[in-house]
Structure 1
Amino acid sequence: MKEKILVGARETIDLPELELFEVATRIDTGAQTSSLHVDHISENKVTGMLDFEFHPDSHDVSKTIKCSAKIVDRKRIKSSNGEKERRYIINTLAVMGELKWTVRLSLTNRSSMSHLMLLGREAMKGEMLVDPEFSYLASVEKITPSVG
């Protein structure tokens, strides 16, 4: 049996192919798919690539990182509020602590959520065990500026 890493309810994940680092991520065994909060999605039908923007600081939406990724699918996904939404799907390298693996992400607007990324069951399968009592067991807590 493959040894799995222990993760908490919250972790930070690097997505180096998208040049995104220390992304605040909620680990959610109740969600099947994983998702990443992005804005301004633009599809290039000739190349099959997506251009989109990521906001690394949820307290300052004027800061953006422009990303590009190959479209691997489009799927109807039921969100946490029960609504079905058609989303673009990409594959990208994910790094959390010592673990490196390819993660399948749906791109959506998560601005009403407290974490910029959600890691679902499909991405965890065979790789990790979750202890929801703790956070940042496999990664380092992202320090965000205080508001107020």
Structure 2
Amino acid sequence: MKPPKVLPVVGWRELVHLPELGLHSVSAKIDTGARTSSLHGTVLEEFERDGQKYVRFAVDYERQHVRQVCEAVHVDVRGITSSNGETQYRYVIKTPLKIGDVEFRAEISLADRSDMKFPMLIGRSSLRRRFVVDSGYSWLQTPEMTVQKGHKP
């Protein structure tokens, strides 16, 4: 039997990056109870480019009064059951996600997370075989300088 691969450790919250969407240092809650990762986004329109389906959506940072408009290939519209047991149909996109030094393509559902503390939730399908979670810590994959400079993730 070969020894288990040593995986990077994430805390219960981390700053993540979605480089193709132009979203950097997004505070995310790590949630092993959720299967799919989720991003706060308001769908603006669906369109086609080069024979592929795309979705254009807005990510609002209400505290900074900033709206970032993003486009991504949309892979599906799926019924996603939230923590309260309610099923919502959501657009699911596939885009690179970077946590610490690890970058990979992740499936992310677009949802209204305006009532949530974190604009993004990282589910277990993004964590599987890539990270180990230590729920007693935060910001383990966040450069110390970011936290020390008073940047409140």
TM-score if structure 2 supplies the norm length? 0.86
Aligned equivalent of 2:59, options 49, 54, 57? 54
**1:52 partner amino acid:** F
- Point out where structure 1 has 5 or more consecutive residues left out of the alignment: none
Structure number with larger C-alpha Rg: 2
Name the structure 2 match of 1:17: 20
Q: Number of aligned pairs?
A: 143
| Deviation by residue 1:110-141 (Cα, 9 ceiling, x = unmatched) | 00100000000111000000001110011244
Q: How does 1:58-137 map to 2 (within 5 A)?
A: 58-60=62-64, 62-137=65-140
Counterpart-to-counterpart distance in 2, 1:99 and 1:32 = 19
Q: Would you say 1:143 and 2:147 are equivalent positions?
A: no
Is 1:39 the counterpart of 2:42? The answer is yes
Of stretches 123-132 and 91-100 in structure 1, the one that deviates more from structure 2 is: 91-100
Question: What TM-score results when the alignment is normalised by the length of structure 1?
Answer: 0.89
CA RMSD of aligned residues (A): 1.8
Identity in percent: 36
Q: Give the letter aligned to residue 2 of structure 1.
A: K
Q: Give secondary structure in 1 for the equivalent of 2:20.
A: helix
Equivalent in the alignment of 1:5: 8
Q: Which amino acid aligns with 2:63?
A: H
Q: CA deviation at 1:53?
A: 0.5
